[in-house]
Chains A and B, each alone.
Chain A
Amino acid sequence: MNPLEIFRYAFEALRERRTRSILTILMVLIGAALMTALNGMNAGMENFVLSSFSSLSPNSLIVVPGTSSVTLDAHDVTLLKKVSGVDDAVPFIQGAAILHSGVKTLRVMVAGFDQSKINLLYPTAELEEGSFISPYDSTGMVLGSKIAMPPGETRPFAWVGKVVTAEYKHTSIEPSGQIKREAVKRSFVVKGVLKYTGAPGFANVDRSALVSLQAANSLFKRGSHYDGIIVITASTDLNSKVEKEILKLYSGNVMVISPKAIVQVIEKTMAGFTTFTVSIAMVSLMVAAVGIITTLFTSVMERTREIGLLKALGFKNWHVLVMFLSEALIVGIIGGSLGLVAGYFGAHLLLMRPVQFSHSAALIQPLFEVEGLVFVWLFTLAISLLAGFYPAWRASKLNPVEALRKE
């Protein structure tokens, strides 16, 4: 007998018990959808977090003051450059400010650093038009692409040659103990606009305005103290050695942040999280497997006489086995395929709203890889077949005389 005919026969049998079949398919669907969606959302989340940090090159270390008594200035840059294994040291000052362009305003991150070293900070940054500004230019500004052209707007916020004003609300404590607030305003001329990098994250270059170090110092009233110094090591292998050296140099009064170490911690954490969520999805697939077992067993019970008849008509044991396995497989194929689609769209739906961060909102896109989807699909099929095997085997072993006698 042609196995395709058995498959068709099994399909007819499933259609006869429509409600029950649909419910079983639904169980499989939910399991497969959960697995697909959780996988995709986890991968998307991991990708998002990683790209936020990986925009900094892996052989960089960020040195920031560890206590309020410590300050970093030009002297520290010279000092850090002398540490063995260090190629370069780039000081930076950054803060949040409100940008005015004509009647329009925008909340942005303003970062000041030597722009000839921009690719040490943002390796993917490139100019769309205009030019970078020199370290001595206190009025030039380079805009990230989302500032020049905010998403959802039809007209640009600012362009090369446009004069904009940055406003910073400075808060300080007077010797008398009074809190003093003042608005600091500085005018800038847009000298360049960056290409869109697409790198999401907290230090999002697309949503940053870049100025010279001294301009940032003046705007944020830092008194020539840097927010931090980015140290570029000769190679990533030297990161931990250089880190130790620096800590020793400052007797532990600075903090050294290693983007590479952060990435490793994130990867590890996400892997653990993925295992956890995917095992939840697995449990739901196991429940579906039990559903298949009970449904098929009920079917074998109800169709005992039919099995007896088929054997009398010449069905071999393996024909009966294949027939019931086909039913399990059909349930697996339909449930798994629909589950994949449901999980794919479900994940997009769940992550449709932007996630809010302190300075910006970001869209986390679920990430699906073909191999991952194929794996979930095959896994669902395998589980379905496995669940179907025992009832199918029992059916194949039925004694035809007894089966035919059954009421």
Chain B
Amino acid sequence: MKTVEEAKYAAETVDLTKVYRSGAYKVYALRNVNIKIRRGEFLAVVGPSGSGKSTLLNLLGTLDQPTSGKILIDGFDTSKLSGGELARLRSQKIGFVFQAYNLINRTSVLRNLELPAMILGVPAGERRRRALELLELMGLRKEAYRKPTELSGGEQQRVAIARALMNNPALVLADEPTGNLDSKTGRSIFELLRKLCHEQGATVVVVTHNLELASMTDRIIHLRDGVVVKEEEVKAG
């Protein structure tokens, strides 16, 4: 088995296929998708509604199992892992950012950030230090002890991004992270993600409908009817 250092790609799909059945009718949400995601890459997935973008992200995040084909995360073949092992893999190597933020509103921003580290079993002092460090990076140090609901949408999404980065994941998956935000805030979120990739070495896959925002990434994958129809490198600038 490959180790973290040897793995060339943060994530890789091989003939990835997902079929949904409704009665006798089959829906190919994904059909033989082969993509390789480099470490430190900022990747956008675009396509019309129903083209399979969310399906791809859920499979990459091991929240769902493919019908056929396989997924390698940091070199690990996820098809060989049990449910419990997948949970541990998610905890260690994958960070999620959702359109609806999905923060726990009953508790503080700080404790929201600590949650992934708590699940991984990081000691209290260490996870607090890491959480404060990330809040500093996000420019949210002052909001540490506030409730998420007291923050603006853009701030909440920044908290969610910080939470995704808590355990130093190999891969951050964001499904329409700017879907609930205005265009200016959406742009600042993309700038932040871009900075994280290029300055902090994070690997981010982001699904979006917005082609203008997509052009801020390193590479764009176009999906249509579950098939990759186009891959384009975005020229720096």
Binding site for B on A (CB under 8 A): 1-2, 5, 12-13, 15-16, 305-306, 308-317, 319, 400-401, 404
Name the 9 nearest CB pairs between A and B, nearest first. Answer: A314-B91, A16-B106, A316-B87, A314-B119, A400-B63, A309-B102, A312-B96, A314-B90, A316-B84
Inside 8 A of B195's CB, which chain A residues have their CB? none
Contact between A314 and B116, CB atoms less than 8 A apart: yes
Contact between A311 and B64, CB atoms less than 8 A apart: no
Inside 8 A of A305's CB, which chain B residues have their CB? 100, 102
Contact between B106 and A2, CB atoms less than 8 A apart: no
Contact between A313 and B63, CB atoms less than 8 A apart: no
A-B contact pairs, 21 of them (CB 8 A): A1-B118, A13-B106, A15-B106, A16-B106, A305-B100, A305-B102, A306-B102, A308-B102, A311-B63, A312-B61, A313-B90, A313-B91, A313-B115, A313-B116, A314-B120, A316-B83, A400-B64, A401-B58, A401-B63, A401-B64, A404-B63
CA distance A55 to B26 in the complex (A): 86
Inside 8 A of A317's CB, which chain B residues have their CB? 83-84
Query: Which among B64, B88, B100 is the interface contact of A314 at CB below 8 angstroms?
Result: B88
B181 to chain A, nearest CB (A): 19
In the complex, B28 has a CB within 8 A of chain A:
no
In the complex, B107 has a CB within 8 A of chain A:
yes
Count residues of B near A (Cβ-Cβ below 8 Å): 24
In the complex, B121 has a CB within 8 A of chain A:
yes
Inside 8 A of A311's CB, which chain B residues have their CB? 63, 87
B176 to chain A, nearest CB (A): 13
| Additional A-B contact list (14), CB under 8 Å, known A313-B91, A313-B119 | A1-B119, A1-B120, A1-B121, A2-B121, A16-B106, A309-B98, A311-B63, A311-B87, A312-B63, A313-B90, A313-B96, A314-B91, A319-B119, A400-B63
CA distance A317 to B58 in the complex (A): 18
In the complex, B104 has a CB within 8 A of chain A:
yes
Inside 8 A of A1's CB, which chain B residues have their CB? 118-121
CA distance A305 to B102 in the complex (A): 8
Binding site for A on B (CB under 8 A): 58, 61, 63-64, 83-84, 87-88, 90-92, 96, 98, 100, 102, 104, 106-107, 115-116, 118-121
CA distance A313 to B86 in the complex (A): 11
Contact between A5 and B83, CB atoms less than 8 A apart: no
| Nearest neighbor of A314 in chain B, beta-carbon distance | B91
| Nearest neighbor of A317 in chain B, beta-carbon distance | B83
| Nearest neighbor of A407 in chain B, beta-carbon distance | B100
CA distance A400 to B92 in the complex (A): 17
Inside 8 A of A306's CB, which chain B residues have their CB? 102, 104
Inside 8 A of B120's CB, which chain A residues have their CB? 1, 314
A400 to chain B, nearest CB (A): 5
Inside 8 A of A313's CB, which chain B residues have their CB? 90-91, 96, 115-116, 119
B122 to chain A, nearest CB (A): 10
Contact between A5 and B118, CB atoms less than 8 A apart: yes
| Nearest neighbor of B175 in chain A, beta-carbon distance | A404
A349 to chain B, nearest CB (A): 38
A309 to chain B, nearest CB (A): 5
Query: Which among A13, A315, A401 is the interface contact of B87 at CB below 8 angstroms?
Result: A315
Inside 8 A of A13's CB, which chain B residues have their CB? 106
Residue with the highest number of chain B CB atoms closer than 10 Å, among A16, A305, A314: A314
CA distance A401 to B121 in the complex (A): 24
Inside 8 A of A400's CB, which chain B residues have their CB? 63-64
Inside 8 A of B98's CB, which chain A residues have their CB? 309, 404
A302 to chain B, nearest CB (A): 12
Residue with the highest number of chain B CB atoms closer than 10 Å, among A13, A309, A317: A309
Residue with the highest number of chain B CB atoms closer than 10 Å, among A16, A305, A313: A313
Inside 8 A of B102's CB, which chain A residues have their CB? 305-306, 308-309, 404
CA distance A311 to B88 in the complex (A): 10
CA distance A317 to B86 in the complex (A): 11
CA distance A310 to B87 in the complex (A): 10
Inside 8 A of A15's CB, which chain B residues have their CB? 106
A17 to chain B, nearest CB (A): 9
CA distance A310 to B163 in the complex (A): 12
CA distance A2 to B114 in the complex (A): 14
Residue with the highest number of chain A CB atoms closer than 10 Å, among B58, B84, B87, B118: B87
CA distance A313 to B107 in the complex (A): 17
CA distance A315 to B121 in the complex (A): 12
CA distance A400 to B173 in the complex (A): 15
| Nearest neighbor of B104 in chain A, beta-carbon distance | A306
CA distance A305 to B121 in the complex (A): 23
Residue with the highest number of chain A CB atoms closer than 10 Å, among B61, B100, B102: B102
Inside 8 A of A401's CB, which chain B residues have their CB? 58, 63-64
| Nearest neighbor of B92 in chain A, beta-carbon distance | A314
CA distance A286 to B115 in the complex (A): 36
| Nearest neighbor of A309 in chain B, beta-carbon distance | B102
Given A1-B119, A1-B121, A401-B58, CB of A312 within 8 Å of CB of B90: yes
CA distance A309 to B96 in the complex (A): 9
B132 to chain A, nearest CB (A): 19
CA distance A305 to B96 in the complex (A): 14
| Nearest neighbor of B96 in chain A, beta-carbon distance | A312
